Amino acid sequence: MTTKTHNTRTSTGRQLGLLLALAAAGSAIAFAAGCRGDRSDAPPRQFFPDMDDQPKLDPQSETAFFEDGRSQRLPVERTVAFGSRSELPGTVASDAWDGMITADRESLLKADETFAFGIVEGSTREEPVYVDYMPVPVTSDLIKRGEERFNIFCSACHGYDGEGGSSGTVGALWSYAPSNLLAEQYRDRGNQFGKDGYLYHVIRDGLWGPDGSNRMPAYGYSIDERDAWAIVAYIRTLQAASDVAFDELDPADQARLEGGTP
Ligand code: HEC
């Protein structure tokens, strides 16, 4: 009995010693494996460690550097942040850059109301008169861009061919039936719904029922002005294409369609 107890004690002591030794070895290994800032061949690789690890102030943090203790500066009094670039038009050497800066500011100012809102100059957004024709030249590049954007943003509800109803996977389950964009009222510029400006407005601002319920989401947040006009150009293309019967198509196009290319 006594021997047994003695033995147990000894082995507990040994286990403890072993554990301590292991813990010490473990931390030695962890220490040897490297600290932040040490050179190593292991990933993640830093190609410019001096840039990655430069001293910097994190946003919304405290610092003793500025008197008010904030890492971020407040805008100069009586000024408003303007544009995503800090340069002023006409102050950079490259024409391409200057064009981008100017376009950026014009789009923020929305000075061109026809381009920005699809309305006739002089009418207001509260009482809009939509333009019959888009203010952007229609090129095959614009239509291609519109096709791509339409397939991403609209086809889920209105179907790839624009027929609406239950032709889109989401549209089939949506609380309101998506409109058929090939219908006469969306082609005839003699009525409100058929004007380029109106189609543009629906894309950017969505559709709301009289009770304020949202019937179609607004896509202005992710489809910019140019892309919205591109989609309008593509809707016109879908409308024109739907007028041509399969038999009237070029044999090459018939083969492409039968091959399953949308
Ligand atoms: C989430 C589903 C959904 C998506 C995505 C969607 N729509 Fe709609 N759209 C609808 C529904 C539903 C209606 C009909 C609403 C109603 O009857 O009030 C509609 C109606 C329309 C109308 C007719 C407006 C009118 O006043 O008659 C146009 C034009 C239109 N959509 C264009 C588009 C375009 C272009 C896109 C892609 C940018 C798009 N829609 C994306 C659901 C959608």
- The answer to whether residues 173 and 244 belong to one domain is yes
- The answer to whether residues 100 and 159 belong to one domain is no
pLDDT > 60? residue 78: yes
- The answer to whether residues 99 and 208 belong to one domain is no
What H or E segment, with its residue span, contains residue 216?
strand 214-216
Pocket-testing residue among 130, 147, 158, 238, ligand 1, by greatest number of atoms within 8 A of Cβ: 158
- The answer to whether residues 213 and 130 belong to one domain is yes
- The answer to whether residues 122 and 244 belong to one domain is yes
pLDDT > 90? residue 3: no
Question: Given 90, 111, 132, which residue is the final one in a domain?
Answer: 111
Residue 114 near ligand 1, beta carbon < 6 Å: no
- The answer to whether residues 130 and 240 belong to one domain is yes
Let me know: does 242 contact 182? Beta carbons within 8 Å. Answer: yes
Q: Kindly state whether residue 258 falls inside one of the protein's structural domains.
A: no
The CA–CA distances, whole Å, from 230 to 10, 145, 235, 243 equal 83, 6, 9, 21
Residue 207 near ligand 1, beta carbon < 6 Å: yes
- The answer to whether residues 213 and 90 belong to one domain is no
- The answer to whether residues 180 and 212 belong to one domain is yes
Number of compact structural domains in the chain: 2
Whole-structure pTM value: 0.69
| Domain of residue 182, residue span | 114-250
- The answer to whether residues 183 and 219 belong to one domain is yes
Q: Kindly state whether residue 40 falls inside one of the protein's structural domains.
A: no
Alpha-carbon gap, residue 222 to 79, rounded angstroms:
28
> How far does residue 216's CA lie from ligand 1's centre (Å)?
5
* Confidence band for 192, pLDDT divided at 50, 70 and 90: very high
Ligand 1, atom 11: nearest CA belongs to which residue? 178
Residue 174 near ligand 1, beta carbon < 6 Å: yes
Residue 179 near ligand 1, beta carbon < 6 Å: yes
Q: Kindly state whether residue 179 falls inside one of the protein's structural domains.
A: yes
CATH of residue 244 = 1.10.760.10
* Lowest model confidence (mean pLDDT) among 44-48, 59-63, 226-230: 44-48
Let me know: does 222 contact 228? Beta carbons within 8 Å. Answer: no
Question: Token pair for residue 133?
Answer: 């024709």
Q: Kindly state whether residue 130 falls inside one of the protein's structural domains.
A: yes
- The answer to whether residues 106 and 135 belong to one domain is no
- The answer to whether residues 95 and 181 belong to one domain is no
> How far does residue 201's CA lie from ligand 1's centre (Å)?
11
Q: Of the candidates 187, 140, 189, 182, which has an alpha carbon nearest to the alpha carbon of residue 160?
A: 182
What's the rounded mean pLDDT across residues 6-15?
Answer: 52
What's the rounded mean pLDDT across residues 218-245?
Answer: 95
* Confidence band for 143, pLDDT divided at 50, 70 and 90: very high
Task: Please report the pLDDT score of residue 210 as a whole number.
Answer: 93
pLDDT > 50? residue 6: no
Contacts 24+ apart (CB under 8 A), 179-182: 181/235, 181/238, 181/239, 182/238, 182/239, 182/242
Q: Kindly state whether residue 89 falls inside one of the protein's structural domains.
A: yes
What's the rounded mean pLDDT across residues 11-20?
Answer: 59
Q: Kindly state whether residue 193 falls inside one of the protein's structural domains.
A: yes
Which atom in ligand 1 lies closest to the alpha carbon of residue 171?
2
Task: Please report the pLDDT score of residue 131 as a whole number.
Answer: 98
* Confidence band for 64, pLDDT divided at 50, 70 and 90: very high
